[in-house]
Structure 1
Amino acid sequence: MEEIWKPTPEQLEQAIHKQLPDLIEPGLKALFVGTNPGLYSAAVGHHFARPGNRFWPAMHRGKITERLYSPFEDYKLLARGGGLTNIVSRASKRADELSKAELDEGAEILTRKVVKFQPQKVVFLGITSYRKAFGRNKAQLGLQKEQIGDADVWVLPNPSGLNAH
């Protein structure tokens, strides 16, 4: 297992505009789509890595993973039929720093990825970014009427600790 470490404030600052690689392959059961990487995740190089993010606990509670994975084990999700990507690839402190143009471009890029890799489901983790990127202003949580390619589209709450209420 990869060593777990916490980034320094300097490393977090240097992570601005870094990108995380997609974890994606053909025929996944579900492609989980974040808005964009946070600085913590970009600094350590793993998805949903910031302490307090609820993604990995939710994957375990939902029985998608057989145990609670560390963010440093994100690559193991592929063996369970899950992939990870983002609407916008660049890291930022907060998702509300993204421009409409970035979200629009990200939606186009994501659509091409979905058509290419053909997951069964695309699961957006955050309703606000889904609404903005795909122009679905009235979208609600859950299964959507629209598909991307042949994939069903689901929208779930954003697991970020910044989004906790």
Structure 2
Amino acid sequence: MGRFTREELEAARDVRLPDLLADGLAVLFVGINPGLASAASRRHFATPGSRLWPALHRSGFTPRRLAPGEERELLGCGLGIASLVARPTARASELTEREFVEGGRRLRRTVRLRRPGWVAFLGVTGFRAAFGAPRAGVGPQREAIERSRVWVLPSPSGLNAHYPPEALAQEFRRLREATGLPDRSTCA
């Protein structure tokens, strides 16, 4: 993925990035919404500062560090990606409360249809806003979505200074261990 011009990024505001889904996934990772670079490239978590891909590998979810263009390989690992809100923005702060609530309803329907074992939110902001859980923190949640268990992970954004790469990978590892998935990081 190369750099995009300002015009290309602005045009990406109209792109709707389809979720990466299959029935019965072990984990459905849910980001708040696509960034403009992700929308422009038509790939999830393609924003240059995203730390999702290294965290997935370092935690043992994937056998190697995948690039955004290899996102479909996640399905073979029992993993998927969805966006809580479909509208791409430069910052999540551009989203409205209504968009979060509607995104929560849409996600609930997706989970009912696809039945993932776990729904893992990538950052507390989206989960809190969409599901009316202002005190939610990182880790497993009491609430389920349909019959899927819920876990909140730290945001993999490069702007999240509270979680350096190893701490981020440790939180992802905690989820992987809770799911019972094997450590694939040593399989490459």
Shorter-normalised TM range: over 0.9
Aligned to 2:79: 82
Deviations along 1:73-104, whole A, 9 cap, x unmatched? Answer: 11110111000001101100100110000000
Aligned to 2:175: none
Aligned to 1:164: 161
TM-aligned CA deviation for residue 160 of structure 1: 1.1
Is the 1:6–1:44 contact (alpha carbons within 8 Å) kept by the matching residues of 2? no
- Following superposition of structure 1 onto structure 2, how do residues 105-120 of structure 1 map, counting pairs within 5 Å? 105-120=102-117
Q: Does 1:146 align with 2:143?
A: yes
**Whole-angstrom CA distance in 2 between matches of 1:65 and 1:6:** 26
Q: Does 1:73 align with 2:56?
A: no
TM-score normalised according to structure 2 size: 0.83
Corresponding residue SS for 1:103: helix
**Whole-angstrom CA distance in 2 between matches of 1:93 and 1:163:** 15
Deviations along 1:103-154, whole A, 9 cap, x unmatched? Answer: 0000000000001000000000010121011100111110000101111100
**Whole-angstrom CA distance in 1 between matches of 2:22 and 2:146:** 16
CA RMSD for the aligned pairs? 1.0
Structure 2: tracts of 5 or more residues without a match? 163-188
Q: Which runs of 4+ in 1 moved over 6 A?
A: none
**Whole-angstrom CA distance in 1 between matches of 2:146 and 2:22:** 16
TM-aligned CA deviation for residue 164 of structure 1: 3.2
TM-score normalised according to structure 1 size: 0.95
TM-aligned CA deviation for residue 17 of structure 1: 3.5
Q: Which amino acid aligns with 1:107?
A: G
TM-aligned CA deviation for residue 5 of structure 1: 3.3
Aligned partner (choices 129, 133, 153) of residue 132 of structure 1: 129
Structure 1: tracts of 5 or more residues without a match? none
Q: Which amino acid aligns with 1:162?
A: L
Aligned partner (choices 77, 97, 100) of residue 94 of structure 2: 97
